[in-house]
Structure formats: structure tokens, C-alpha cells
Chains A and B, each alone.
Chain A
Amino acid sequence: DTAVSQTPKYLVTQMGNDKSIKCEQNLGHDTMYWYKQDSKKFLKIMFSYNNKELIINETVPNRFSPKSPDKAHLNLHINSLELGDSAVYFCASSLDRGELFFGEGSRLTVL
């Protein structure tokens, strides 16, 4: 039974389109995150939510909008996709500080 699951695993789309990535965790954790991993494997935090409340919002373009309908779900919607948005997006959840459980990632390719 997957602890943190993301869908879809792969997205290929054209510039200017809108796309969403969904994330669900069944670990009962209160905190969830979105991280972006670029082509050089660099990981950068984008957002974190604690029990549906936005806690961290890094300097991410406002084309990116997270949404947490409940503490087990954290979705990411991206408007007007750009070439530079191509990356692997990881969802994660945590119970204790720094101990993150990651999903398998969603690879976004913008053409």
C-alpha cells in the first residue's frame, strides 16, 4: 500500500497549457510538501501545508497554486506552463521535523 502517491507519474504538454498533479498520503501526517527537482537534481521546496493551512510559500511564480482539500491531500495546479517548468515534482509528507516521506515524483515535460 503506497504511503505517498502522486498522479500522474508523467506529463507531457505544450507551453501555455494548464496542468494539475495530485498527491495523497495515507500515513496520517499533518504536514505535506511540494518540492521541485530540476535536471541537475537540485531539490527546492515550493510549498508546505500543515493540516490544510499554508505554512511555507517560497518565491514561486503565482502560476503555481497548491490546494489542500484535507490533510491527506495536496494538489498542485500550474497555469500557463513555460519551458522552465519542466522538472520532476515531488510530493512529501512528514510527522517529525525533517523526516519526509516522498512520493515517486511526477515528471513534467513542457514542449
Chain B
Amino acid sequence: DAGVTQSPTHLIKTRGQQVTLRCSPISGHKSVSWYQQVLGQGPQFIFQYYEKEERGRGNFPDRFSARQFPNYSSELNVNALLLGDSALYLCASSLAMGSSYEQYFGPGTRLTVT
């Protein structure tokens, strides 16, 4: 069975630009969460979506937005990129809200902002 997939793998953007990251969850999983991981730190929670609705939001500015599609795939958008947005962006899926303690992570998208 395919795991969580993310695209692109790597991305280089310039300050002020916008970026869209994509995630496909494991088949049958209805919840998708997004995390930002800076080198040497734990993943920081950005969003959780379940059944196409936002169910959780971390302490990130409004420049960060996301959505979930009917097929449960998801996109994370970041506007007006800053140097500090450079990080590994991880997507994770879980069966449902109640099982969100057990999340399956994708390989991540490495975003570099110059």
C-alpha cells in the first residue's frame, strides 16, 4: 500500500513569493495534518483537516492557509514568503480525528527561501 506522498520534494523560492505544497494521504485516511520542522527542532503543528473542514490550527500567521479536497488530498499555501519560512514541511494522515495520536508522515517538502 502506498504511504503518504508529498510534492514537490524540494523547492527554492524567493522572499515575497507564494508556494503551494501538496499531500496525498494513505488510502482510507480522512484526516490530514501539516507541520513545519526546522532543523534540530520537533515538528510544529500548522493545521489539521478532517472531512474537508479545518479542525485545528497552530500559531502560524494568516500567510499560511490550507484546504482539503473531496478525495482527502490537501494543499498548504504560504504567501509572502520570508527567510524564516525555510524548513521541512511535513504532511501526516490518520484514519480519523479520534486516532490523530497515530499519524503517518510523508517524506516532506524541503522549502528554501532565499
A and B from one assembly?
no
